[in-house]
Chains A and B, each alone.
Chain A
Amino acid sequence: MPTARVLKLAVTGTAAGLLSGLLGVGGGVVMVPLLVLWLGYEERAATGTSLAAIVVIAGMATIAQGAYGNVDVAKGLLVGVPAVGGVLLGTWLQQRVPSRTIGLLFAMLMVAVAVDLIVS
């Protein structure tokens, strides 16, 4: 990988991590737009790569939070197991809509996150 690209990825990852540590917003909200607008990713590839990175981020963060006794495993599974069904449906659906629609939906998600930050 060229150095400039590694640097961009490192900045993207650091920004995603910093903001999720600071504000509790997920890394994906930061990573996907940076991958698309800065690293020239196609929307689908940005979302897929973001998910792979999130596995690592959420895994490490869960271990850290678990050490503080903040993780309720039963309730996590109650939400997480149906969500696995949801993500399979979501990725299936995503292959069947145009990239630009994914971009539009993502813009709506960003507006929702912004509103949530302002009202909270």
Chain B
Amino acid sequence: MILAVVMGAAGGVVSGMLGVGGGILFVPALSLVLSLSQVKAEATSLLAIIPVALAGALRQSRYGNVRLRDAAVLGPVSAVGVAGGVALSNAISERALKISFAVLILGVAGQFLLRFWRSRGAAGSEPGGRFFSRSEQNLPRSRGAGNSISGDE
């Protein structure tokens, strides 16, 4: 049980650092440690994600890192996508799908690594570098359409 609590807390840290729900740790905590079936573990993980994502989003919005209008498009549209995905999953070979998605995200991971490699030396221009500042990035920014970085406005 203590292990489940620790895995929950660790999943929360991953969630806050990386903007994911934390299910990658919640599901094994619920299935392997708290012995729920896989289906129930995944469903219960969703419940655990709600307060986590809510607390994380509130905290991030204080730092000016939430574009609420974009999130308001993403959230409901995704929910529709989930329903489609569940329906599709009964029609498609899950194994093939998992492998192709795994390959796809490995490719994306490669792109992130490339970005990391290319940005070497730029760390000094990061907002305050490590561990001290709360400069630029942490100031509230204008919400909504503003996105000075993207250049595709």
- Residues of A whose CB lies within 8 Å of any CB of B are 1-2, 4-6, 9-10, 12-29, 31-33, 35-37, 39-42, 44-62, 65-66, 68, 70-73, 75-100, 102-118, 120
Inter-chain CA distance A110–B19, complex, in Å, is 12
A22 to chain B, nearest CB (A): 4
Q: Which residue, B11, B74, B88, B127, has most C-beta atoms of chain A within 10 A?
A: B74
Contact assessment for B112 and A94 in the assembled complex, using a CB-CB cutoff below 8 Å: no
A40 to chain B, nearest CB (A): 3
Contact assessment for B82 and A17 in the assembled complex, using a CB-CB cutoff below 8 Å: yes
Which residues of B from 114 to 148 have beta carbons under 8 Å from A? 115-116, 119-120, 122-123, 126-127, 129-132, 134, 137-138, 141, 144-145, 147
Contact assessment for A61 and B82 in the assembled complex, using a CB-CB cutoff below 8 Å: yes
Known interface pairs A48-B66, A49-B71; A91-B147 also in contact (CB < 8 Å)? no
Which residues of B from 7 to 21 have beta carbons under 8 Å from A? 7-21
Could you list 18 further interchain pairs (A-B, Cβ under 8 angstroms) beyond the known A26-B24, A76-B48, A114-B103? A17-B84, A21-B81, A21-B84, A29-B20, A39-B150, A41-B149, A47-B60, A48-B61, A52-B75, A54-B57, A54-B75, A57-B78, A57-B82, A86-B12, A98-B123, A99-B119, A104-B116, A117-B102
B50 to chain A, nearest CB (A): 5
A115 to chain B, nearest CB (A): 8
- Residues of B whose CB lies within 8 Å of any CB of A are 1, 4-24, 26-27, 29-30, 34, 36, 39-40, 42-57, 59-61, 63, 65-71, 73-89, 92, 94, 97-99, 101-103, 105-106, 108-113, 115-116, 119-120, 122-123, 126-127, 129-132, 134, 137-138, 141, 144-145, 147, 149-153
B115 to chain A, nearest CB (A): 6
| Interfacial chain B residues near A14, Cβ < 8 Å | 77-78, 80-81, 84
